[in-house]
Amino acid sequence: MAIMASCNDVAEEKPIKPNIVFIMSDDHAYQAISAYGHGLNNTPNIDRIGNEGVIFNKGFVNNSICAPSRAAMLTGKHSFVNGKVDNVRAYDWNQENFAKALQRNGYQTALVGKIHLDGLPQGFDYSNVLPGQGQYYAPDFIENGVQKTYPGYVTHVTTDIALNWLDNKREKDKPFLLLYHQKAPHRTWMPEEKYFTLFDDKTFTPPANFFDDYQGRPAAAAQEMGVYKDMDVVYDLKMLDKEKEIKTKYRGMFQRQYDRMTEEQKAAWDAYYDPIIKEFKAENPQGKDLALWKYNRYMQDYLRTIQSVDDGVGQILDYLKENGLEENTIVVYTSDQGFYLGEHGWFDKRFMYEESFRTPILMKYPKEIKPGTVVDELVQNIDFAPTFLDYAGVDIEESIQGESLRKLVKGDASEWRDALYYTFYEFPGEHRVKRHYGVRTDRYKLIHFYYDIDEWELYDLEEDPSEMHNVYNDPAYTAVRKEMHDQLKVMRSKYGDSDAMDQENLNRFLKAKGLSK
């Protein structure tokens, strides 16, 4: 189909611009999407996007933490360029983002759900977002700058708002951009009633390196994100006993989340969790038994919250289909970063190690993308902005650092990148993951941890995909080490990062946290 635009005698063919639905969830590990083949759970609707389009096997983020990843996604630029280096510093909405560019080019734009960037979102005709992290039950939302509380469960509320926008607020003569961003499966993994018993009959076996001893990796040893050592039995694992005998550091924090539920929701919650609490108290597991119990409790609730996310994806896909929008709409599913599901013994993210550096990316666009396409090249969240602009026929500004995925998806990898750059800044901070940056090629990864430590790590991902052996000082890798250092130099200069920038970012962080000496 084409619109005939005639401003003079020569009729010009103006292609119809594609609609874009950009779905992002929070902390959704690729290991927990069935299309990636890890066998943990079933996500038929998310899988549909990959089956009907393309699945990226090597999708990565620039900075494995929420707000910086979202800022990179919006701007197409690395953290040290867009300024949102950590969850602490304010995001400057005045800078350019791809939604603004699409808006200027005739798109109607909307942002729904979690964005984690304070201030009124710019570039959107409609926004209805969670303040900060948001809540699972009776969530607050800020609709075009006005805060209100919605009854119900956050994943459904977000989906309903998105569907309502599509159905009632969309101007049907314009192309649209919808950012539909879920809070789940972010901590503290509170499921909806429908899924309370899902996985009750399943025992999850932790990854082979669940009992990692972090030998040769001091930064990995220093973290506070261990399933066994750091997970709070009440806050994370829901053992909120009525007798108040289980006293943990974050009990009060979980109580506040629990208290948001209605009496009916609490009754359903208690009917499911109380017997588990009773059994836990009676058995009082210790040591390895406790570690495995925690891991299973974690996996059950984490995966349950994903099931609701998958349902929402299904509703959106069905809506597009039923309303004749399927053919001309690009749908992307991704997460703001990956997540540890017990690898190295962890939950959370932050590290440049694979499970959190990587992120799921699936995309469909029936008009142009062949179903069943698989991409194995290195792609990154800074690529979303230029990709959308490219498909929309909008100029990609020089300052954008990502690359459009369009040609790659069509099978042309001739000029594609051979390395990715990564930064992480949020230290000292929650989970105690040290500041680092690094470079990854298809086979190797070089990481530098700095600030209160000065450690280099080198991994051969072909020989050691779980990153258990730091070969930085292994003589067999002398040449690789040199090549990777050269590659890192190239990356830092290409993107405009430097030791001076690291120092400046550190100073600003310490000042904001009141930690400056």
Interface with Ca ion (CB under 5 A): 26-27, 66, 336
Rounded least distance, CB 167 to ligand SGN, Å: 30
Helix (H, G, I), strand (E, B) or coil at 124: coil
Hey, how many other C-beta atoms are within 10 angstroms of the C-beta on 318? 13
Q: Which does 466 bind (CB under 5 to 8 A by kind): ligand SGN, Ca ion, none?
A: none
- What is the per-residue binding string for ligand SGN in 105-134, x denoting contact by CB under 6 A? -----------x----------------x-
Question: 54 vs 45, 113, 200, 375, 386, CA distance in Å?
Answer: 14, 25, 33, 7, 17
Rounded least distance, CB 28 to Ca ion, Å: 9
Q: Which does 87 bind (CB under 5 to 8 A by kind): Ca ion, ligand SGN, none?
A: ligand SGN
Nearer to Ca ion, 27 or 383 (CB): 27
Rounded least distance, CB 455 to ligand SGN, Å: 22
28 binds ligand SGN (CB under 6 A): no
Rounded least distance, CB 22 to ligand SGN, Å: 17
- Which span (181-189, 276-284, 325-333, 379-387) binds ligand SGN, by CB under 6 A? 181-189
Residues 253-289, buried b or exposed e (16+ Cβ, 10 A)? ebeebbebbeeebeebbeeebeeebeebeeeeeeeee
- Which span (170-178, 185-193, 292-300, 498-506) binds ligand SGN, by CB under 6 A? 185-193
In the numeric block, which tokens belong to residue 8? 């003079």
In the numeric block, which tokens belong to residue 239? 């053992």
- Which span (167-175, 182-190, 370-378, 395-403) binds ligand SGN, by CB under 6 A? 182-190
Question: 455 vs 433, 434, 435, CA distance in Å?
Answer: 13, 10, 11
| C-alpha 32: how far from chain center | 12
Adjacent-strand bridge partners of 59: 379
The answer to whether 388 and 330 have CB atoms below 8 angstroms apart is yes
User: Would you mind telling me the total number of residues written for the chain in this entry?
Assistant: 517
- Which span (161-169, 184-192, 311-319, 484-492) binds ligand SGN, by CB under 6 A? 184-192
Name which position in 87, 105, 209, 466 contacts ligand SGN (CB under 6 A).
87
In the numeric block, which tokens belong to residue 184? 């789940």
What is the distance between the alpha carbons of residues 120 and 146, in angstroms, rounded to a whole number?
10
Q: Which does 188 bind (CB under 5 to 8 A by kind): ligand SGN, Ca ion, none?
A: ligand SGN
Nearer to ligand SGN, 115 or 392 (CB): 115
Rounded least distance, CB 114 to Ca ion, Å: 8
With CA atoms as reference, report the closest residue to 236 among 301, 306, 304: 301
Rounded least distance, CB 472 to ligand SGN, Å: 27
248 binds ligand SGN (CB under 6 A): no
Q: What's the Rg (C-alpha) of the chain?
A: 23
The answer to whether 387 and 375 have CB atoms below 8 angstroms apart is no
What is the distance between the alpha carbons of residues 70 and 34, in angstroms, rounded to a whole number?
24
Nearer to ligand SGN, 340 or 365 (CB): 340
Rounded least distance, CB 513 to ligand SGN, Å: 14
- What is the per-residue binding string for ligand SGN in 327-366, x denoting contact by CB under 6 A? ---------------------x------------------
Q: Which does 355 bind (CB under 5 to 8 A by kind): Ca ion, ligand SGN, none?
A: none
Nearer to ligand SGN, 134 or 386 (CB): 134
Nearer to ligand SGN, 235 or 388 (CB): 235
Residues 11-31, buried b or exposed e (16+ Cβ, 10 A)? eeeeeebbbbbbbbbbbbbbb
Question: 255 vs 49, 258, 259, 336, 353, CA distance in Å?
Answer: 37, 5, 6, 27, 33
Q: Which does 431 bind (CB under 5 to 8 A by kind): Ca ion, ligand SGN, none?
A: ligand SGN
27 binds ligand SGN (CB under 6 A): yes
Q: Which does 116 bind (CB under 5 to 8 A by kind): Ca ion, ligand SGN, none?
A: ligand SGN
Contacts 24+ apart (CB under 8 A), 222-225: 222/432, 222/434, 222/453, 223/346, 223/350, 223/351, 223/431, 223/432, 223/433, 224/430, 224/431, 224/432, 225/340, 225/346, 225/347, 225/348, 225/350, 225/431, 225/432, 225/433
Nearer to Ca ion, 166 or 190 (CB): 190
Rounded least distance, CB 64 to ligand SGN, Å: 8
Nearer to Ca ion, 265 or 335 (CB): 335
DSSP state letter for 256:
H
Residue 175, amino acid: P
Nearer to ligand SGN, 51 or 257 (CB): 257
188 binds ligand SGN (CB under 6 A): yes
Residues 6+ apart with CB under 8 A from 129: 111, 112, 113, 114, 115, 121, 141, 142, 181
The answer to whether 80 and 497 have CB atoms below 8 angstroms apart is yes
The residue whose Cβ lies closest to Ca ion is 66
Rounded least distance, CB 88 to ligand SGN, Å: 11
238 binds ligand SGN (CB under 6 A): no
In the numeric block, which tokens belong to residue 289? 């038994």
Binding site for ligand SGN (CB under 6 A): 26-27, 65-66, 87, 116, 133, 186-188, 348, 430-431
